[in-house]
Structure 1
């Protein structure tokens, strides 16, 4: 494993940071990317504390900028000779609703959470074909079950789930494995970045007729995150899939995630769907 290189996006905090450190501890050479290198200190400190600083490189990559993506991946392959895995983790949340926020808000969320994933995956695929590598994409249980006031976020995650599930059998014909990783509530800085201001009344006031429903949603969500999975535990599931010889198409990071999606998915690991669609391209 010591010569295998993985690029991970969105590593300044949360699941991405923990995944970078754990992947390095598992033997990967980790290229940890983020849009703002000014936020890299936490990752560098965590890598040093874990004794893997020499196996974690920090590079700039903006998933919404195809030029930034292409430049970063080309440099990785030039420097290390190959790319063996990509972990799509970068993302952003949004709490709101269509009538109040409009379509532009949804476009912004899709740009990061959906098209950002496509930008990185498209650029990585030629290198992953060459190495017989893999793509892991961190989605969410919100990519399986639509959730109130998360319309744009869930739409983006649904899109990623559909795209990657469709890509999986095609990529497999050229030796590339595709896996979706679905956390439920995770205690990380992501919670602070979903568009809820410190003064929740500010958000409630602009919701107009939707205020009572949003108030109830925020109360329920606060309870869910009070028992959230740690970012480290979620990252452990990502790295387990990264290391697996036969990774599932769909992986949940906790029992809570599996329970949450169970009413929607009778095929929680994706094997039935892939078993069917793989025959279409064999």
Structure 2
């Protein structure tokens, strides 16, 4: 039996992960900004699911949730940093009032939640699952701010993986492509300053045409995440779905092409080289 603490459980992958873990017999601390949305979900699990409020931009809220989890279950084995949202719009269209809160939730909130749980995980090992995205593998026009937050999560997670390995704490970057969750509907905001010059690269139309029609089955993705958490040697990078795998393959190929094309010139930069 594992004990999970999951952020952002009111919908999407967070909700499905909480339910899947509880249904297989694990204990789950399901959290969200508005705990009322979680109480009905927790009720059938006979005390194995605890619903708690947690606002990832509020350090006191994070500490209170971790303390309540420890009081209820005595330990935390798996932390899932799932809370987050997206912002669509060209870089020039975005304003500080729009993109700074995005970083507060997607990056700084994840950091503070992780820091609060690390003393618990280091005691006997465990797993951190950071929900990234195909958008964390490669950038695309109209999604630059969201890309930037997920790139930050990727770099942070790679560093954490090295730091925590001596303590038996594993890190998994879940990198889903398009899955049929509520993300494109309730978890995406659009830059208010719409500029016609960027219409060709805007992702506004993408939300309108794809919401509710994504090919990915989120329950199948959750099953893969559970399998990775249970694995003796889980992957650091876990692209989910054919779209995310395609993004990764194209990124690797483009990176290799740049390296190979410019190798002889760019490598000749040390003192003393002819």
State the alpha-carbon separation in 1 of the partners of residues 200 and 170 from structure 2. 45
Matched-pair contact (CA < 8 Å) for 1:36–1:60: yes
Matched with 1:130 is 123
Secondary structure of the 1:75 match is: helix
Q: Select the residue among 256, 259, 264 that pairs with 2:246.
A: 259
The alignment of Structure 1 onto Structure 2 pairs a total of residues equal to 252
In structure 2, stretches of 5+ residues that fail to align are 254-274
Matched with 2:59 is 66
Matched with 1:277 is none
Matched with 2:202 is 214
Matched-pair contact (CA < 8 Å) for 1:86–1:135: yes
RMSD: 2.3
Q: Select the residue among 183, 186, 194 that pairs with 2:188.
A: 194
State the alpha-carbon separation in 2 of the partners of residues 62 and 106 from structure 1. 18
Q: Select the residue among 237, 240, 255 that pairs with 1:250.
A: 237
Structure 1 residues 70, 220: closer, same or farther in 2, change over 3 A? closer
State the alpha-carbon separation in 2 of the partners of residues 254 and 76 from structure 1. 32
Q: Map of 1:10-29 to 2, 5 A cutoff?
A: 10-29=8-27
Shift of 1:38: 2.9
State the alpha-carbon separation in 2 of the partners of residues 73 and 263 from structure 1. 40
Shift of 1:132: 1.0
Q: Map of 1:144-183 to 2, 5 A cutoff?
A: 144-183=137-176
Matched with 1:240 is 227
In structure 1, stretches of 5+ residues that fail to align are 197-202, 267-282
Structure 1 residues 43, 256: closer, same or farther in 2, change over 3 A? farther
Matched-pair contact (CA < 8 Å) for 1:16–1:235: no
Matched with 1:102 is 95
Matched-pair contact (CA < 8 Å) for 1:205–1:211: no
Matched with 1:278 is none
Shift of 1:209: 2.2
TM-score, structure 2 length as denominator? 0.84
State the alpha-carbon separation in 2 of the partners of residues 220 and 54 from structure 1. 38
State the alpha-carbon separation in 2 of the partners of residues 14 and 119 from structure 1. 22
Shift of 1:69: 0.6
Shift of 1:80: 1.5
Secondary structure of the 1:182 match is: strand
TM-score, structure 1 length as denominator? 0.82
Moved over 4 A (4+): none
State the alpha-carbon separation in 2 of the partners of residues 191 and 42 from structure 1. 24
Matched-pair contact (CA < 8 Å) for 2:6–2:81: yes
Shift of 1:142: 0.3
Matched with 2:266 is none
Structure 1 residues 53, 184: closer, same or farther in 2, change over 3 A? farther
Structure 1 residues 148, 224: closer, same or farther in 2, change over 3 A? farther
Deviations along 1:126-151, whole A, 9 cap, x unmatched? 00011211111111010011021111
Structure 1 residues 170, 219: closer, same or farther in 2, change over 3 A? closer
